[in-house]
Copies of this chain bind each other. A is one copy, B any other.
């Protein structure tokens, strides 16, 4: 048998999805499993999105232009304008999800053997995009105890080598819930200028901010037109994860011409889904939808944070954005605990699934006692899930068998 490639052997299986068989097993055993392990919200997708799909669902389902439908680009331009971001058609490409937007950005600015800086913990699939594009991730370390704020400029600059071509960061942050301040972003911009790096900002959680925090877009920063690249997605803000519609945007024409060539290779993003987006963005309803959804997520965040505060030995900061909280647990091996919750524990026949955080870190050993909790269920379900977690944590930490 011919062998498979080194990159296939070494690319990670999704740490978020790899425990799914255990969850399936728990379900088959009759347990209810609260899924706080994956960023799939339970909020119904806006009706206007589906209306747009229905209206377009006829005739020939043709390729769209590789760059996306003109109407989709125009509707997106309008959307960005509400944030004070002016983008022309040529400065955007509709991508097949945010995943593809990140891949295009990396292909455009790095070659095989290059590297990028990424604040850790980071969205674990960045590892896969790095593996697919043949580059290294050099982590900028941040810590739960410091609320995952960025370190100072000197610490970041110490990580820079000629191989580093870009800084990739997620703002608001998955899995940290951090929203970067103007000062933090200005500092990143300064580093990018001084060391001739691109700044790639993953802003798929733009609207998910709480307590008056506001996410500043990389495209709103001054004098950064030549090196700012926005990667975006409608998955979270319109609760349309299954649409697979994202965006890459930049004022740097070479970057966009490059991304377009990669986009042409895969022909087009899904056509009907773009019509859904166009119809939604043209309706007056979408901003209300987002507003109400964020209010709901704020309640969820408050609940989850309050419950975590009550659990002995749990350390976390109140997240300001996105819909995750990364928490340190009083356990040695959070993955073992997460597995145990699925295989050995239940409360009133219910259990909970979390994402072990170790694989959100590039630094070996870090995050081993942390989990990421996605507060993507309604408050009733979250209340029950938090109860299961609290009791599970007590049972686990008190069980002599579990003291590894």
Contacts and interface: CB of A to CB of B under 8 A. Distances in A.
A11 B196 contact: no
A79 interface: no
A197 B3 CA distance: 9
A198 B112 contact: no
The 8 closest A-B pairs by CB, nearest first: A242-B271, A128-B265, A8-B258, A14-B264, A50-B57, A99-B266, A1-B226, A45-B61
A75 to B, nearest CB: 17
Q: How many copies does the complex hold?
A: 2
Contacts of A244: 96, 244, 267-271
A379 interface: no
B261 A14 contact: yes
Interface of A: 1-2, 4-9, 11-14, 17, 38, 40-45, 49-50, 53-54, 57-64, 66, 96-97, 99-100, 107-112, 114, 125, 128-129, 132, 134, 165-166, 196-198, 226-227, 239-244, 252, 254-255, 258-262, 264-273
28 contacts: A1-B226, A1-B227, A2-B196, A4-B109, A4-B255, A5-B108, A5-B111, A5-B114, A5-B258, A11-B265, A12-B261, A14-B264, A17-B264, A40-B62, A45-B59, A54-B57, A61-B241, A64-B242, A96-B96, A96-B266, A97-B266, A97-B267, A100-B266, A112-B112, A125-B265, A128-B262, A243-B270, A244-B244
A49 B61 contact: yes
A261 B8 contact: yes
A265 B132 contact: yes
Contacts of A57: 50, 53-54
Contacts of A270: 96, 242-244, 270, 273
B198 A2 contact: yes
A62 B43 CA distance: 10
Nearest to A197: B2
The dominant DSSP class at the A interface is loop
A29 to B, nearest CB: 19
Contacts of A110: 5
Residue of A5, A43, A62, A111 ringed by the most chain B CB atoms within 10 A: A5
A104 B198 CA distance: 28
Contacts of A196: 2
Given A60-B42, A62-B241, A242-B63, A272 B8 contact: no
Nearest to A264: B14
Residue of A11, A17, A267 ringed by the most chain B CB atoms within 10 A: A267
Nearest to A12: B261
Nearest to A126: B265
Nearest to A238: B61
Nearest to A67: B17
Contacts of A254: 1, 4
A80 to B, nearest CB: 22
Contacts of A128: 261-262, 264-265
Nearest to A269: B244
A109 B264 contact: no
A242 B62 contact: yes
